[in-house]
Structure 1
Amino acid sequence: MSKTKAWLNAARLRTLPLSLSGIIVGTALAGFYGYINYVIFVLALMTTIGFQVTSNFANDYGDGVKGTDNEDRIGPKRALQSGLLTREELKFGIVLSIIINVLLVLVLVFVAFGIQNYGYIILFLVLGAASIWAAIKYTVGTSAYGYRGLGDLFVFLFFGLLGVLGCMFLYTKFITADSLLPAITIGLLSVGVLNLNNLRDSLSDKKVGKNTLVVQMGFQNGKRYHYTLLLLAFITMGGFIFLNFVNWTSTIPLLGFVPIFVHMRKVSVTQDHILLDPELKKLALSTFLLAVLFYFSFNIFS
Structure 2
Amino acid sequence: MKNWIVAFRLRTLPLALASIGMGAFLAGASGNFDALVFGLCALTTIFLQVLSNLANDYGDSIHGADSTERQGPSRAVQSGAITKAQMKRAILIFVLLSLASGIALIYVAFGWMSFNFNLFLGIGALAILAAITYTAGYKPYGYAGLGDISVLIFFGFVAVMGSAFLYEQSLNWNYLLPAISVGFFSVAVLNVNNIRDIESDEKAGKRSIPVRLGRDAAVRYHWFLLFSGFAAALVYVALNYVAVTQFLFVLSLPLLLVNARAVHSKRNAAELDPFLKQMALSTLLFVVLFGLGSLL
- Alpha-carbon displacement from aligned partner over 1:132-152 (angstroms, at most 9, x marks no partner): 000000000121000000000
1:122 aligns with 2:118: yes
Q: Report how far residue 72 of structure 1 moved.
A: 1.4
TM-score after normalising by structure 2: 0.98
Tell me what 1:6 maps to. Answer: 3
Distance 1:270 1:8 in 2: 28
Distance 1:67 1:273 in 2: 18
- Alpha-carbon displacement from aligned partner over 1:13-52 (angstroms, at most 9, x marks no partner): 0000001011110001111111010000000000000100
Tell me what 1:69 maps to. Answer: 66
1:27 to 13, 16, 24: 24
- Alpha-carbon displacement from aligned partner over 1:30-83 (angstroms, at most 9, x marks no partner): 111110100000000000001000000100000111121112112111110111
Tell me what 1:265 maps to. Answer: 261
Q: Secondary structure at the match of 1:80?
A: helix
Q: Secondary structure at the match of 1:81?
A: helix
Tell me what 2:272 maps to. Answer: 276
Q: Percent identity?
A: 43
Distance 1:265 1:97 in 2: 37
Tell me what 1:110 maps to. Answer: 107
Q: Give the AA of the match of 1:35.
A: N
Runs of 4+ aligned structure 1 residues displaced above 6 Å come to: none
Write the mapping of 1:134-173 to structure 2, written as runs, cut at 5 A: 134-173=130-169
Q: Give the AA of the match of 1:103.
A: A
Deviating more after overlay: 259-268 vs 167-176: 259-268
2:281 to 279, 285, 289: 285
Q: Report how far residue 247 of structure 1 moved.
A: 1.9
**8 Å CA contact retained: 2:161, 2:172:** no
Tell me what 2:39 maps to. Answer: 42
Q: CA RMSD in A?
A: 1.0
- Alpha-carbon displacement from aligned partner over 1:264-302 (angstroms, at most 9, x marks no partner): 122222333442211111111000111111221112x1x
Deviating more after overlay: 126-135 vs 289-298: 289-298
Write the mapping of 1:80-229 to structure 2, written as runs, cut at 5 A: 80-115=77-112, 118-229=114-225
Q: Give the AA of the match of 2:142.
A: G
TM-score after normalising by structure 1: 0.96
